């Protein structure tokens, strides 16, 4: 099955987390927003070289979000909170809904998504 990688998953894969090895074997997609978030987090933590490597590896897999998802993303974010009690970020909400629309498994380790349908939770 094809999967959609959120920022958490990409960062863990870039850092070599062995729990993500099986995910690396399959087909996957992500968004430009996720790549921006990944680059920022890695840059902030002093891992600029790793940020560049992640961008090189995952950049070609970035998909554009269709216009018709915009209103659904906004509603999803407004109406729901993750299990941590916080609202989903725009990037997280857009990736999750994109994956749902395309029948992709949403792969993350972000606690907000724990228990949501259609996702694989890896830490």
Question: Which residue ranges make up each domain of the chain?
Answer: 3-121
What pLDDT is attached to residue 1?
Answer: 53
CATH 3.40.50.1010 given to domain 3-121: yes
Residue of 3, 19, 13, 18 lying closest to 53 (CA atoms): 13
The token pair at 24 is 């690396």
Residue 123 predicted with pLDDT over 80: no
Q: What is the DSSP string of 23-47?
A: HHHS-EEEEHHHHHHHHHHHHHTT-
Residue 83 predicted with pLDDT over 80: no
What pLDDT is attached to residue 75?
Answer: 92
What pLDDT is attached to residue 19?
Answer: 92
Residue 84 predicted with pLDDT over 80: no
Around Cβ 88, how many Cβ atoms within 10 Å?
23
């Amino acid at each position: 099955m094809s999967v959609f990688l959120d920022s958490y998953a990409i960062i863990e894969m870039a850092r070599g987390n062995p729990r993500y090895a099986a995910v690396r074997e399959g087909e996957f997609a992500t968004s430009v927003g996720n790549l921006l978030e990944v680059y920022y987090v890695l840059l902030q933590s002093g891992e600029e070289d790793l940020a560049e490597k992640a961008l090189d590896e995952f950049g070609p897999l970035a998909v554009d979000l269709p216009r018709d998802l915009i209103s659904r993303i906004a509603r999803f974010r407004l109406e729901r909170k993750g299990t941590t009690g916080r609202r989903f970020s725009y990037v997280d909400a857009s990736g999750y809904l994109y994956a749902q629309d395309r029948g992709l498994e949403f792969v993350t380790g972000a606690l907000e998504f724990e228990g949501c349908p259609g996702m694989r939770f890896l830490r």
